[in-house]
Structure 1
Amino acid sequence: MIKIKEVSTERERNDAYQIRQEVFVDEQGVSMDEEMDEHDEHAIHFVGYIDQRPVLASRLRFVDEYGKLERICVVKDERGNHYGNKIIEEMEETIKKHGYFKAKLNAQKYAEEFYKKLGYQTISGEFLDAGIPHITMIKDLSI
C-alpha cells in the first residue's frame, strides 16, 4: 500500500529529488539544470512510499489563481498501479486547503488522456518543454 506524504524532512525531500532524477533526468534525458530549478526551494513537495521505498514524487506551487501541479512522476516498475491518480488527489486537496479552487499543469503530451480522465481540460496547443512535447491543462476544483 502506498503512503503519500507532504515533504517535511530533509530525507523526504531527498527521496523526492531522487525519484525526479531517476524519471526525468535518467529516463527522459532532461538536464539536471532544467529539472532542479529555482522553484524547488519554495514549492510544496510530495513523496510516496511503498514500505520504506520512495516510488513517486511531485511538487506544487501557487501561481496567479492556480495551484500548479508539477514534476509528477512514478518510478518505472510501479507505473500502472494508479499511484499517479492518488498523488494528484492529494495535491488537489492541498490546493483547496490553501484556499485555491483551480488547478493547472503542463502535461507531457502522451499523458493528456490520463489527465482528461481526472477532469482536466486542455487549454493550449502543443509546446516543447525540456525538448519534450507538452500541453497546458486546467481543472475547476470547486465542482
Structure 2
Amino acid sequence: MEVKIAKTDEQQQDAYRVRHTVFVLEQNVPPEIEIDELENDSTHFIGYDGNQPIAAGRLRYVEDYGKLERVCVLKDFRGLQFGKQMIAEMENVIRSKGLPKAKLNAQTHAEDFYKSIGYQTISEQFMDAGIPHVTMIKEV
C-alpha cells in the first residue's frame, strides 16, 4: 500500500469514500457526523493499492500531541498490515512536527490491535456514534 497525504480534491474524495464505506455503510455511523467541522483543520491520509483507495485516516494537532482520527481500512484489505502502515505514516508526521505523543479514540473491538503497536489505554469505555470507544496514547 502507498500512503499519501491528500493534496488534491480527488485524493480527499478518495479518503472520504473509504471512510463512508467503513463508518457509514458498514458501522452505521450517521453520515452527518462522519464528515464534521474539523475536516478543514486536519491532515488527511489515503492509502492506495495500485489505483484503488483502500485505507484512510486524518490527523489533527491538539495541544502537545497528534490526534489520529477516522483511521480505517476497507473490509477486504483488513489483516494485511495496512492499518499498521497507515498509523506508522501518521506517527512519522507527528514526529516530524516535534510532538512527543499520539492519541486516539479507539473502537473497543480494535483496542488489542492498538495495544499491539504500542498504544496504552488511558480512559474508561465511552460511547461515540453509538460505538464503544476508549482513549489511547503512545509516545512517538
| Category of TM-score, reference length = shorter chain | over 0.9
SS in 1 for 2:39: coil
SS in 2 for 1:81: coil
Return the offset for 1:30.
0.3
Aligned match of 1:93 = 92
Are residue 107 (structure 1) and residue 106 (structure 2) matched? yes
With normalisation by structure 1, the TM-score equals 0.97
Amino acid at match of 1:54: P
Return the offset for 1:101.
1.2
CA RMSD of aligned residues (A): 0.5
Write the distance in 2 (CA, Å) between the matches of 1:76 and 1:62: 28
Q: Give unmatched runs, 5+ long, in structure 1.
A: none
Q: Give aligned pairs, total.
A: 140
Write the distance in 1 (CA, Å) between the matches of 2:40 and 2:7: 13
- Once superposed, which parts of structure 1, at least 4 consecutive aligned residues long, lie more than 6 Å away? none
- Spell out, residue by residue over 1:74-110, the C-alpha distance to the aligned partner (whole angstroms, 9 max, x if none): 0011111010000000000000111111100000001
Write the distance in 1 (CA, Å) between the matches of 2:76 and 2:57: 17
Aligned match of 1:5 = 4
With normalisation by structure 2, the TM-score equals 0.99
Identity over the aligned pairs, expressed in percent? 52
Amino acid at match of 1:127: F
Aligned match of 2:23 = 24
Aligned match of 1:36 = 35
Amino acid at match of 1:33: E
SS in 1 for 2:68: strand
Write the distance in 1 (CA, Å) between the matches of 2:61 and 2:32: 22
Return the offset for 1:71.
0.2
Write the distance in 2 (CA, Å) between the matches of 1:64 and 1:131: 27
Q: Give unmatched runs, 5+ long, in structure 2.
A: none
Aligned match of 2:62 = 63
